[in-house]
């Protein structure tokens, strides 16, 4: 039985099948890489601006998905650039970079869903166009079923599988419309796949792209916008970089000023210790002042003065002498001030307290 199984396995054969799942390398992340190299072979310059492109003079044509035009500001900037001579090619479906050419389904879904008009729809309505959906059987076609689009009196055979059409006024929906807008040109294509890596080599796709570039009379540069999520920080840096630099410098200065430093700022460590001792005395005096208006501070000084005065009276044979008069005689201050300094209970304010302490100090130092 084992020998039969071995001979059966040896006699088996297998067949290798290859299935395309996508491109490799740069073509995997850039769906317009083949189109860019094709145009470069004809002497055109291809720019790869991340997010929203710089609409400057050398730029002749920009290819971008309609899903990028979500704000009136982008539409106004694009329309102004076109009117000054630029050529904008707007693709309604399959224009974003994240779409896989080996899977079905478009940017707006299988077919266009009627919703409230957004900024792009409002712009199209202002130009006299409407974007409409089509039936499923009209949208999805076999790759072998090419159809013809007209551009400048010439027919181009293309394959487009899109669920939307661009409709001029009351006319019939079309796959491609190109018109003058000011000094420039506006082209609307329902499907971007004729310009993508997988399909640009089919039918007349490459020739159609070259013709669109030749219609750009005011520039030799082209940029393909493939990122539908435009970078706010890139746009802010390109438009307001002086303000951003000033803000960065301000934050850096604030951090330098407020972050803790390592090591002493100077070599005078004793001054810091003295300041700390002064603060301690100030806090202690404030505590006693709030407690009993400083009576606790005056009591020891008065007791010491009274002991010294009594000892002086005994030594000088003036036991029955007026103590306040003796204090005034020794210190040189009036008797009323000496009596007030020794008997006044609560000072009205800090100034009165300071005068009391000054008189007590004079009496204390005058009596040995």
Tokens 């006044």 sit at which residue?
344
Q: Show Cβ contacts of residue 125 under 8 Å, excluding neighbours closer than 6 positions.
A: 117
Query: Which neighbouring-strand residues pair with 167?
Result: 130
What pLDDT was estimated at residue 142?
45
User: What are the phi and psi torsion angles at 91 (to 5°)?
Assistant: -105, 135
Residue 90 has pLDDT above 60, yes or no: yes
List pLDDT tens digits, range 11-58: 566 677 666 555 666 777 788 888 889 988 888 888 876 677 778 777
List pLDDT tens digits, range 261-280: 666 555 555 555 556 677 77
Q: Which helix (H) or strand (E) holds 147?
A: strand 147-151
Q: Show Cβ contacts of residue 211 under 8 Å, excluding neighbours closer than 6 positions.
A: 151, 152, 154, 156
What pLDDT was estimated at residue 267?
52
Instruction: Check: CB of residue 123 under 8 Å from CB of residue 75.
Output: yes
Instruction: Check: CB of residue 327 under 8 Å from CB of residue 364.
Output: no
- The yes/no answer on whether domain 24-226 falls in CATH 3.40.50 is yes
Report which of 326, 291, 320 is spatially closest to residue 306, judged by C-alpha positions.
326
| Longest Cα separation, the chain | 145
- Domain locations in the chain? 24-226, 232-257, 278-366
What pLDDT was estimated at residue 53?
79
Segment 336-348 mean pLDDT: 76
Residue that wins the pLDDT comparison between 234 and 60: 60
What pLDDT was estimated at residue 293?
61
Instruction: Check: CB of residue 141 under 8 Å from CB of residue 175.
Output: no
């Amino acid at each position: 039985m084992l020998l039969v199984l071995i001979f059966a396995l040896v006699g088996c054969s297998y067949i290798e099948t290859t299935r395309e799942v996508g491109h490799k390398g740069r073509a995997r992340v850039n769906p317009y890489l083949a189109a860019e190299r094709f145009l470069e072979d004809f002497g055109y310059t291809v720019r790869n601006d991340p997010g929203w492109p710089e609409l400057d003079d050398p730029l002749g044509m920009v290819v971008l998905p309609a899903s990028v035009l979500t704000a009136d500001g982008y539409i106004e900037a694009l329309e102004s650039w076109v009117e000054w001579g630029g050529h904008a090619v707007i693709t309604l479906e399959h224009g974003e970079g994240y779409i896989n050419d080996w899977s079905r389904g478009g940017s707006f879904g299988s077919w266009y869903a009627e919703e409230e008009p957004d900024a792009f729809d409002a712009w199209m309505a202002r130009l006299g166009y409407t974007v409409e959906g089509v039936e499923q059987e009209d949208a999805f076609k076999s790759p072998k079923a090419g159809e013809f689009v007209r551009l400048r009196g010439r027919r181009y055979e293309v394959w487009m599988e899109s669920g939307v059409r661009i409709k001029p006024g009351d006319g019939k929906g079309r796959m491609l419309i190109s018109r003058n807008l000011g000094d420039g040109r506006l082209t609307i294509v329902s499907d971007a796949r004729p310009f993508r890596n997988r399909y640009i080599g089919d039918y007349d796709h490459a020739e159609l792209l070259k013709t669109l570039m030749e219609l750009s009379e005011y520039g030799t540069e082209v940029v393909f916008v493939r990122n539908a999520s435009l970078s706010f920080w890139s746009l802010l840096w390109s438009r307001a970089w002086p303000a951003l630099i000033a803000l960065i410098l301000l934050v850096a200065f604030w951090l330098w000023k407020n972050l803790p430093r390592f090591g002493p700022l100077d070599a005078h460590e004793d001054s810091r210790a003295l300041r700390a001792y002064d603060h301690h005395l100030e806090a202690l005096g404030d505590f006693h002042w709030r407690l009993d208006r400083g009576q606790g501070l005056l009591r020891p000084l008065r007791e010491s003065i009274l002991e010294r005065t009594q000892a002086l009276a005994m030594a000088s044979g003036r036991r029955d002498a007026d103590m306040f008069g003796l204090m005034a005689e020794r210190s040189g201050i009036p008797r009323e001030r000496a009596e007030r300094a020794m008997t006044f209970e609560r000072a009205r304010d800090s100034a009165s307290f300071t005068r009391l302490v000054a008189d007590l100090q004079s009496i204390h130092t005058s009596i040995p």
